[in-house]
Chains A and B, each alone.
Chain A
Amino acid sequence: MGKQAQAVIETDALTKKYNGEVAVNRLSFNVMEGEIFGFLGPNGAGKTTTLLMLLGLTEPTSGKARVLGINPIREPIKVKGMIGYLPENTGFYNDLNASQTLRFIADLNRLSREVADERIENALTMVGLDSEAEKKVGAYSRGMRQRLGIAELLIKEPQVAFLDEPTLGLDPDATNWMMELIAQLCKEKKMTVLLSSHLLHLVQRVCHRVGIMINGAMVAQGPMDQLAKEKLGIGKKKYTLEEIYMKYFRET
């Protein structure tokens, strides 16, 4: 992170109500350029709803959001073109193979044939699926599907990536691989990553800053060292993220 790091994602009192029930409550947070932001919180805290609002897929009841300086409600197409989104439990067309799946994504992003060919090849190599590219996705294992999900995201070469539980249901080896890939993408491709996960020890390893969301509200955000100092009174390297998280969780 440079000194003049800019906010890539900004929200101001973002609120979403579903039939009067508050899902996201006056949420304000920033994600800076080039960082990995750990988006934590229990199930049903409103993380996915927040991501959907940032993508312009759902309209906030009130409040403002900006992604790369663009209002996602006003210009959803533009925003969606710049964000790579890996939904939780993402699905695939089982009758297509990996190359066809990626080709379809490239078509939806209106990439020219040459650009698409190149990106598909690079993405498949990067996630290690190049040898399985002609196999139908229906025959893929959970780990391979998740890799393909990342490949889909890479096709867009997005500036920002939203990863919603990318390690859900993966074995320890695949989980480690996934986390390393995320760190690598951030470093090499200068991608800003918004990572939602429950695997706190891994989040602690790769994330620069975290935000903890409980019951639709952001109860804490900042670098982990700072949160540890405020909440636990311990200095650097002596805490685990789990301790901080549980402390916030019990208090709310």
Chain B
Amino acid sequence: MHGITAIFKKELADHFSSYRFMILFALIAMVSLITAYMAGLNIRQDLAGIAKPQFVFLMLFTAQGALFSLVQFVAFFGPLIGLILGFDTINRERNEGTLSKLLSQPIFRDAVINGKFLAGVVMITIMMVSIILVITGLGLSMVGVVPGAEEILRILFYLVISIVYVSFWLGVAILFSILFRSIATSALAALAVWIFFSFFVSLGATVAANALAPDAQESGPEAVVRHAQIQKAFTLVSPMQLYTEGTATIIDPLKKTTRSIVLVGPMERISLSRFSGPLPLGQSIIVVFPYIISLIAITVICFAVSYTVFMRQEVRSV
């Protein structure tokens, strides 16, 4: 653990005092305020005719305001937080000549990367927690609902998954900052990956499904199922998709499956139509467990790759 605390403390202080962080924070605070406000307005209209509404509090996060819900917002823009926090982690030190000096101090080499990653994760946690607290506070005053114990648990669970998700992108950014010497290159490469997964994967999934199962509509139900399966398999390549599916039943207890209606089996369909009540938290978690595990796995793998590359780099090139 030599040195990891010293580096962690310095990185955290750097983050807090950087303009980058303040701009990011202002932007995110603004958007979450607006989303929550919109959602709050909508909820009141939606609940007008319902006698006994359930999980109203969670609707603050899932209700689509004018444009999108907070959950969608985090799925889409959360990666940017990670990328912006991490894209120049190692190569800035390298370009400014501070890395060789840092490494010549009596610390283990991994303390540098561990300390920096940890500081990034703490920043992400602070941001996510404050966003959720802002929305909670706003919801309390606008809608006037107090969250129940289960709702709080669900929010906490959602928070943890979101932190893992954004940390994955932090890991990607750090990896690029190790691989590329130029800060501009690593920033662009990280952005390119983000754009690829946000836009092109879903587009590519449809194209691939069309190619592999052509004329699905005419060839009968089996072909339609195959088409849907291929499309789903392709979209799951994207961490964004993993995250969206992984949080779907957690934040929305009325949602009971992550499958599209085409892929739902007959028994499942019967149970879906018969039991319209909300899913208990334990069951909600079980439904999305594979996604959550995959999300954690890719985060760990991404960090492990950065770690290995960094440990093996010759110091001369540092």
Contacts and interface: CB of A to CB of B under 8 A. Distances in A.
Contacts of B105: 80, 105, 108-109
A226 interface: no
A58 B97 contact: no
A95 to B, nearest CB: 7
A95 B15 CA distance: 11
Nearest to A52: B315
A143 interface: no
Interface string A121-158: 00000000000000000000000000000001000000
A49 B3 CA distance: 24
B100 A57 contact: yes
Contacts of A91: 93, 96-98, 101
A1 interface: no
Contacts of A152: 101
Interface residues of A, number: 28
A80 B109 CA distance: 12
A81 B106 CA distance: 5
A200 interface: no
B200 interface: no
Contacts of A94: 96
Given A18-B314, A80-B104, A87-B104, A95 B17 contact: yes
B2 interface: yes
Q: Which of B6, B17, B93, B108 has the most CB of A within 10 A?
A: B6
Contacts of B84: none
A93 interface: yes
A78 B100 CA distance: 17
Contact of B103 (A57, A92, A105, A107): A57
A89 B95 CA distance: 11
B10 A104 contact: yes
Contacts of A105: 105
Interface string A39-55: 00000000011001001
Contacts of A95: 14, 17
Interface in B94-128: 96-98, 100-108
Given A80-B104, A87-B104, A107 B97 contact: no
A77 B316 contact: no
Contacts of A89: 97
B17 A77 contact: no
A90 B101 contact: yes
B259 interface: no
B3 A108 contact: yes
Given A85-B101, A93-B98, A108-B6, A57 B106 contact: no
Contacts of A80: 104-107
A113 interface: no
Interface in A19-67: 48-49, 52, 55, 57-58
A85 B100 CA distance: 9
Nearest to A77: B106
A57 B104 contact: yes
B318 to A, nearest CB: 8
Contacts of B2: 77, 110
Contact of B316 (A49, A81, A107, A110): A49
A252 to B, nearest CB: 23
Nearest to A152: B101
Interface string B213-251: 000000000000000000000000000000000000000
A92 B9 contact: no
A55 B105 CA distance: 10
A87 B99 CA distance: 10
A77 B97 contact: no
B309 to A, nearest CB: 16
Contacts of B315: 52, 57-58
Interface string A193-206: 00000000000000
Interface of B: 2-3, 5-7, 9-10, 14, 17, 93, 96-98, 100-108, 314-316
Given A91-B98, A108-B107, A109-B106, 7 more contacts: A58-B314, A77-B108, A80-B107, A90-B97, A91-B96, A92-B96, A110-B6
9 contacts: A57-B315, A83-B104, A87-B101, A93-B98, A95-B14, A107-B9, A108-B3, A108-B6, A109-B105
